[in-house]
Every structure is written in C-alpha cells, then in structure tokens.
C-alpha cells in the first residue's frame, strides 16, 4: 500500500485539474473554494433581488413589480442570503481554514465534506428552480403557519421552500458534524483547546448550534410537508391546532441560526484585528467564553421574536431579561476588540478596515437589538422597517463585513497572490457609505410607522423621502460589490505573489506556502502557544512543518459523494416533481452511499 500511496499521492506533484478533479475532490481547500464561489454567486443573486425590492419601493404606489413577485422577492432574498450566501460563505472559511489553523492535513471525514457541498449546491439550485416552475415561495423566510397551508398558499412555492430547506439542512448538518470532530480530534500536538484560534472556537460553537438547531426546523418542516402533501392538520386551526407551534419551533431554530450567521464573522474579526494591530488578541479566554455563552444563551431567547403574539407578561419578562443578558457577552467582545487595537500599531490595510467597520456597524445593530429586547418598545418596532434596519446592521454590517474582512485577509493564502489594496479601500468606503445610506433611514421610517414586507405604501405617510434615499444607497451598493468582484478576478489572475505570510500573521496557516500544498503540512507542526508564529522558538518549530519526510498519504478522490448528494437531492425534490424524479434519485443515492461505504479510503 505504501507503494501505491507513493505513486498516487506523492507530495509536490502537480495538482490535478479539470472539471472531473473538482467533482471528485475531497480536498478541504478545494471544497472551501467551491463553497465560496457558489455562495458568492448566490450572494449576488440575493443582492439582485434586494435591488428589485428597493426599486419597487423608491416611490409610493410604484408598479415596478407586481405584489406577488414582490412577495417572492423578499422571501427569496432572505432565504438566499441566510441559507445560500452567509451560511455557506462561513462554511467556505471553515473548510479552507480549520485544518490549516489546527495543523491538520484534512478534515476528519473528507468525503462527507464533499457530500455536504454537493448537497448544498443541489439544494440551492432546487429552491431557485421554483422561479421557473410556477413561482417562488412567497410566504416570507419565516413561513408563518397558517398562511403556508394549502388553503392559503395553493401554489408550489411553499413546497419548493420546505423541501429546499430540508435538503440544505442535510448539507449543514453533515458539515457541522465533520467540523466538530475535526476540531476536537485533529488538532496538532500541543494545540490545546485554549490555544485554538478564536475563529476555530467560533466554528466549533457554530457547528454545535447547527447540529442542535437544525433538527428542530427539520421537524417543523416535516409537519408542514405532511400538512401539504398528506392532509394532516398540524397547523390547521379548525382542527384544534395552534399556528403558534410553528413560531415556537421556527424560532427555537431561528434564534440559534442568528448566531450561526454572526459567530463565524466574530471569529474572523478576532483573527484580523491582532494581525494588523501587531498585538495579541486582548482577553482571549474572555472572548472564547463569551462566544460559548452566547451560543448557550441563544437557546433561551427565541420568544423575543414573538413579543407581539401575546405570550403573557411572565413569558415576555423572562425573554426580555434573557435577551438583555445576552447583550453582556456581546458587549464584552466589542470592548476586547477595542482593547486589542489600543496600544497597537494599526496597519490600515483593507481587511483591517472591514474589521473595524464590522465593530462599528455591528455595535449599531446590537444597540437597536437592545432596544427591541424591551417588549413594550418592541411592540412599536417589530414588523416595521426598524427591524429591517436592525437585521441589516447585524447581518450586512456584521456578518457580511466580517466575511469581506476574511476574504481580503485570506485571499493571499487561498490564491498565492495579493489583492489590490487600493481597490479594496475604494470598495470598503463605497460599501460603508452605501450601506449606511441604505439602512440607516430604515430606523426612522420604521419608527415613523412603515411596516415591513409591504410592496407599496401610501404617499401621504411621510415615508417617501427616506425610501428614496434607501434605494439610492442600494443602487450604490451594487458597484461597491462589483469593484470587489473585479478586484478578486484580476488579482487572482495577475496579482503580485504573496509569499507564505504577507501580513505577518500569528496562526499556523501562515507558516505554509500560499496556496498550501494539497497535504498542507509536510510534517504536522508542534504548537506551544496561542500565537505560534509570533514567538521566536515556537516559530522555528512551526516553520519546520514545511519539511516533508517520506510519503504523505492523502485520501483519494471519489465521485460517490457527488452521486450520493445528487441522488438525495433528486429523491427529496421528487416530492415536488413526482416519482419519476424521486425514485431514480433514491436508487442513485443508495448506489452512491453503498459504494462510498465500501470504497477504500486509505
């Protein structure tokens, strides 16, 4: 076996290329790239949907899109951004970085990793196919019962939505299981839990949230699908069912989901700030513990999405207090990030600008969140544009700014080339201005009484001017993102070579070549501190990991995960398309799984 390993998987060979090598790849870095590029495409699609929404709202009583198209657009915008853009963009970082940061050759289950990507891709395509098969889902990304029942939503949109989310759930779960084991089990010698980079910690917390939160939405969606396909009455009030059951199940998933979206960005920022401050992260254990605390508390606040349903004063008070409690670790993180910069030598490169932008914008989103933690105040704010402003400061100002910080920061590691810093700065400032122009007025238009999810509004309510400026802001966001795309493509093709460690980073991934070889580390490094590359002795030890001794055995490529994923997606989509898709899908899935299980993986 050693000889086959030597011939097939000898290090320093040219990387295989071509479409087939990507379909069969089990290399975490390639899967990370696939995740990243796919998710960014969906980010552009979701952004395009947002632009259409904003154009419709540029003036009152506009007729740019019809109300049913508008409802599809806001449903798909949220669904796309949450499940097809931010989550998989985070997954892209998990995939690319986690093994590099903990000093491993790959994830614990490389083929499961490939499987989760392909399931994600097919699920994402499936849910978007609804646009061509009779209309996309139009009930909001939260799909409140009983509007989703056959009686009130007879079309196929809700079916696409429910089945699509089930498919995507499989992908998220598979990836999360993988990263939990990878992080806990594949750490390099000396990499104790409290020596793991914060990004690794946040990935771990996020993965636990995913494996515990997704089963809950899975069950809720199963009920919905039974109601719609079999005629049960899980959410049918006339049979005695309570539509609030959906809200409880949905938000029991949905609130942890919020942290699933933001914690990875917090992890990214916690990596970027120390590097460009030339100073270790301030209060590392506190940041880690507060991240764990946020993940834990995320289970006790779901009903703050439901203050307006009338749960009674006791429940309202409980969820108000638990929500306020969660503000404390969040605040502590922000103060620790500021203290990290304090006394440093700040190099304001593009990643750093995005990280600082994250701190300010996320603080704003956090503070408006603190405002509707108070139920009486929330009753004036919820379901208005004030909440639209809040979630976009948290998700765009927070998660997306953090993700851009990460994309700029690790681009050299991913591609071996530098991005154009000047263009990056233009992107940052344009995005910062456009983002605030889009979303800041929404605070006011919300407090002035504009509900969300309305395709039109009366001309005499004073909403006109602020909506106009929001739309202008959104139209400016488009070129900001396009500058990034241009910069990304040109830099990838012809940026200056980056070298191993262009920023002087502290963590293991900067010890190895850019882009890393398929086996990552020639020798598994030994870790003796939190920032191994910043200490003279441990730096030597870590850099020694580039030496290759003997043959490195990497898992072989496999197309079975791809076929298994395709089969599973087909099987589940058969619920909408019919048995002639479902049955072949089932057979294909079984074929894929069977061969996967009995395929030698060493």
Partner 1 sequence: MSSAAATLAPVHEAHPTSTGLNNRKMVFWAFLGSECMFFGSLIATYLVYKGRDKVGPHPHEIFNIVFTSFSAFVLLMSSLTMVLALAAVQRNNQKTARLWLAATALLGMTFVGGQCYEFSEFFSHGLKLQTNLFGATFYVLTGFHGTHVTIGVIWLWSLFMMATKGKLGSERALDVEIAGLYWHFVDVVWIAIFTLVYLLQ
Partner 2 sequence: MWPVLAVLPALAGCNTARDFPQTTLDPKSDYARAIQVLLEQQVFWVAVIFSFVLLATLVILVKFRARPGSPEPKPIHGHTGLEIAWTIAPAVILTLVAVPTVATIYKTQAAPPAGSLHVRAIGHQWWWEFNYPDLGVTTGSEMHVPVGRPIAIDIETADVLHSFWFPAMGGKRDAIPGHVNHMFFTADTTGTFPGQCVEFCGISHANMRMKLVVAKPNEFEAWVAGQKQGPAIPDSTSLAGAGHRLFTQSACVACHTIQGVSAGVIGPNLTHVGSRSIIAGGIYDNTPEMLEKWLENPPGRKPGSLMPNLGLTHDQVTQLVAYLTSLK
Query: Where in 176-215 is the site for partner 2 (CB under 8 A)?
Result: none
Q: Residue 177 or 486: which CB sits closer to partner 1? A: 177
Size of the site for partner 2 (CB under 8 A): 95
Helix (H, G, I), strand (E, B) or coil at 379: helix
586 binds, among partner 1, partner 2, none (CB under 5 to 8 A by kind): none
Residues 568, 119: Cα–Cα separation, whole Å:
8
332 lines the binding site for partner 2 (CB under 8 A): yes
554, 105 contact by CB (below 8 A): yes
Does 338 bind partner 2 (CB under 8 A)? Our answer is yes
* Nearer CB in complex with partner 1: 242/347: 242
Query: Choosing among partner 2, partner 1, none, which partner's interface includes residue 321 (Cβ < 5 to 8 Å by kind)?
Result: partner 2
Strand partners, 384: 451
How far apart, in Å, are the Cα atoms of 193 and each of 1, 188, 285, 479, 506? 34, 11, 11, 42, 17
354: contact with partner 2 by CB under 8 A: no
Among positions 119, 241, 405, 466, the unique one binding partner 1 when judged by CB under 8 A: 241
Residue 455 near partner 2 by CB under 8 A: yes
CA dihedral 163, 166, 172, 178 (to 10 degrees): -130
At residue 453, φ and ψ (nearest 5 deg) are 60, 30
| CA–CA distances in Å: residue 52 to residues 85, 133, 171 | 18, 20, 29
Q: Decide which of partner 2, partner 1, none touches 504; Cβ closer than 5 to 8 Å per partner kind.
A: none
> Is residue 105 close enough to count as binding partner 1 by CB under 8 A?
yes
The least distance separating partner 2 from the CB of residue 330, rounded to whole angstroms, comes to 9
Contact flag: residue 486 with partner 2 (CB under 8 A): no
Query: Closer CB to partner 1, residue 270 or residue 520?
Result: 520
H helix or E strand, kind and range, residue 516: none
The Cα–Cα gap between 584 and 591 comes to: 10
Per-residue x/- track, 537-556, partner 1 (CB under 8 A):
------------xxxxxxx-
From the list 44, 51, 327, 426, which residue makes contact with partner 2 (rule: CB under 8 A)? 327
169 vs 210: CA distance, rounded Å:
9
Q: Which residues contact 518 (CB under 8 A, 6 or more apart)?
A: 11, 15, 27, 29, 554
Q: Which is nearer to partner 2, 58 or 332 (CB)?
A: 332
List beta partners, residue 451.
Answer: 384
Binding status of residue 242 toward partner 1 by CB under 8 A: yes
Residue with tokens 């490939």: 114
519 part of the interface to partner 1, by CB under 8 A: yes
State the CB neighbour count (10 A cutoff) for residue 496.
Answer: 12
- Could you say which of 14, 19, 132, 239 contacts partner 1 (CB under 8 A)? 239
Give the C-alpha separation, 244 to 183, whole Å.
Answer: 37
> In this structure, what token pair is assigned to residue 525?
């490094």
To partner 1, the closest distance from the beta carbon of 192 in angstroms equals 9
Q: Which does 223 bind (CB under 5 to 8 A by kind): partner 2, partner 1, none?
A: partner 1
Answer for which of 11, 16, 135, 344 binds partner 2 (CB under 8 A) is: 344
> What does the chain come to in residues?
602
Q: What is the CB neighbour count within 10 angstroms for residue 415? A: 19
Are residues 560 and 596 in contact, defined by beta-carbon separation less than 8 angstroms?
yes
Per-residue contact flags (x/-) with partner 1 for residues 250 to 279, judged by CB under 8 A: --x---------------------------
Q: Do 136 and 130 touch, CB atoms closer than 8 A? A: yes
- Selected binder of partner 2 within 292, 447, 543, 581 (CB under 8 A): 447
Both tokens of 281, joined, read: 């992260």
Interface with partner 1 includes 163 (CB under 8 A)? no
Residues 6+ apart with CB under 8 A from 231: none
By the rule CB under 8 A, 65 interacts with partner 1:
no
Closest distance between partner 1 and the C-beta of residue 170, in Å? 12
The region of 22-30, 183-191, 218-226, 305-313 touching partner 2 under the rule CB under 8 A is 305-313
From candidates 11, 16, 140, 515, binder to partner 2 by CB under 8 A: 140
Write down the residue that tokens 């290329």 correspond to.
17
The candidate with the shortest Cα–Cα distance to 483, out of 406, 415, 404, 417, is 404
Asked whether position 271 contacts partner 2 by CB under 8 A, the answer is no
Size of the site for partner 1 (CB under 8 A): 56
For partner 1, which is the closer residue by CB, 161 or 234?
Answer: 234
Residue 504 Cβ, how far from partner 2 at the closest point, in Å? 12
Residue 313 Cβ vs partner 2, minimum distance, rounded to whole Å? 4
271 binds, among partner 2, partner 1, none (CB under 5 to 8 A by kind): none
Task: State which of residues 18, 19, 132, 240 lies at the interface with partner 1 (CB under 8 A).
Answer: 240
- The entry of partner 2, partner 1, none near residue 120 (CB within 5 to 8 angstroms by kind) is none
Smallest distance, partner 2 to C-beta of residue 159, A: 17
375-382's contacts with Cβ under 8 Å and 24+ in sequence apart are 375/304, 375/307, 375/316, 375/317, 375/319, 375/320, 378/304, 378/307, 378/308, 379/307, 379/308, 380/447, 381/446, 381/447, 382/307, 382/308
552 sits in which H/E element? none
CB of 71 to partner 2, least distance (A): 6
Q: List the one residue out of 31, 41, 190 whose CA is nearest residue 115.
A: 31
Sequence-distant (≥ 6) Cβ neighbours of residue 154 within 8 angstroms: none
Q: Which of residues 175-204 bind partner 1 (CB under 8 A)?
A: 177-178, 180-181, 184-187, 191
d(CA 410, CA 403): 10
Our CB check for partner 1 shows the closer of 119 and 401 to be 119
Q: Which of 211, 334, 371, 591 binds partner 1 (CB under 8 A)?
A: 211
528 sits near partner 1 (criterion: CB under 8 A): no
Of the pair 129, 212, the CB lying nearest partner 1 is at 212
- Which of positions 63-102 make contact with partner 2 (CB under 8 A)? 66-68, 71
173 binds partner 1 (CB under 8 A): yes
Binding site for partner 1 (CB under 8 A): 1-2, 5, 104-110, 173, 177-178, 180-181, 184-187, 191, 211-216, 218-220, 222-223, 226, 230-234, 239-242, 245, 249, 252, 519, 523-524, 549-555, 601-602
């Amino acid at each position: 076996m050693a000889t086959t390993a030597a011939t097939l998987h000898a290090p320093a060979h040219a990387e295989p290329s071509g479409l087939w090598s990507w379909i069969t790849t089990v290399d975490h870095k390639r899967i990370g790239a696939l995740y990243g590029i796919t998710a960014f495409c969906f980010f552009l699609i979701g952004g395009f949907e947002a632009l259409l929404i904003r154009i419709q709202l540029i003036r009152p009583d506009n007729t740019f899109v019809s109300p049913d198209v508008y409802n599809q657009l806001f449903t798909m915008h949220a669904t796309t951004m949450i499940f097809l853009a931010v989550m998989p963009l985070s997954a892209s970082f998990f995939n690319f970085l986690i093994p590099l940061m903990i000093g491993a050759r790959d994830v614990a289950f490389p083929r499961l990793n490939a499987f989760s990507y392909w399931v994600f891709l097919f699920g994402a395509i499936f849910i978007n196919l609804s646009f061509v098969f009779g209309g996309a889902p139009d009930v909001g990304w939260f799909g409140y019962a009983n509007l989703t029942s056959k009686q009130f939503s007879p079309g196929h949109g809700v079916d696409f939505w429910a089945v699509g989310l089930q498919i995507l759930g499989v992908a998220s779960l598979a990836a999360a299981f993988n990263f939990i084991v990878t992080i806990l089990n594949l750490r390099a010698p000396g990499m104790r839990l409290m020596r793991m980079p914060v990004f690794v910690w946040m990935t771990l917390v996020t993965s636990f949230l995913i494996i515990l939160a997704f089963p809950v939405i899975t069950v809720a969606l199963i009920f919905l699908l039974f109601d719609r396909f079999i005629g049960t009455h899980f959410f049918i009030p006339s049979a005695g069912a309570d539509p609030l059951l959906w809200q409880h199940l949905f938000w029991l998933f949905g609130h942890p989901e919020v942290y699933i979206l933001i914690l990875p960005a917090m992890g990214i920022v916690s990596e970027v700030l120390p590097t460009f401050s030339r100073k270790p992260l301030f209060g590392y254990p506190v940041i880690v513990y507060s991240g764990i605390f946020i993940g834990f508390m995320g289970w006790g606040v779901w009903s703050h999405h439901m203050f307006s349903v009338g749960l009674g004063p006791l429940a309202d008070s409980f969820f108000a207090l638990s929500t306020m409690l969660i503000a404390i670790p969040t605040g502590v993180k922000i103060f620790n990030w500021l203290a990290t910069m304090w006394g440093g030598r700040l190099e304001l490169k593009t990643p750093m600008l995005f990280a600082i932008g994250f701190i300010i914008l996320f603080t704003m989103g956090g503070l408006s969140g603190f405002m509707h933690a108070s139920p009486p105040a929330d009753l004036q704010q919820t379901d208005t544009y004030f909440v639209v402003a809040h979630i976009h400061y948290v998700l765009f100002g927070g998660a997306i700014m953090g993700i851009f910080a990460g994309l700029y920061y690790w681009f050299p590691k991913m591609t071996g080339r530098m991005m154009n810093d000047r263009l990056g700065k233009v992107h940052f400032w344009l995005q910062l201005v456009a983002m605030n122009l889009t979303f800041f007025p929404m605070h006011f238009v919300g407090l002035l009484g504009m509900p969300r999810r309305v395709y039109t509004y009366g001309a005499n309510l004073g909403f006109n001017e602020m909506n106009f400026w929001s739309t202008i802001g959104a139209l400016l966001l488009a070129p900001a993102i396009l500058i990034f795309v241009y910069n990304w493509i040109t830099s990838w093709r012809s940026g200056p070579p980056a070298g191993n460690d262009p920023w002087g980073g502290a963590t293991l991934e900067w010890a190895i070549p850019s882009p890393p070889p398929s086996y990552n580390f020639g020798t598994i490094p030994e870790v003796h501190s939190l920032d191994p590359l910043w200490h003279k002795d441990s730096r030597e030890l870590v850099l020694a990991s580039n030496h290759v001794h003997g043959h490195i055995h990497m898992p072989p490529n496999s197309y079975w995960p791809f076929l298994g994923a395709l089969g599973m997606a087909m099987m589940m989509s058969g619920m909408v398309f019919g048995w002639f898709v479902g049955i072949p899908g089932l057979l294909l899935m079984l074929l894929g799984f069977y061969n996967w299980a009995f395929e030698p993986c060493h």
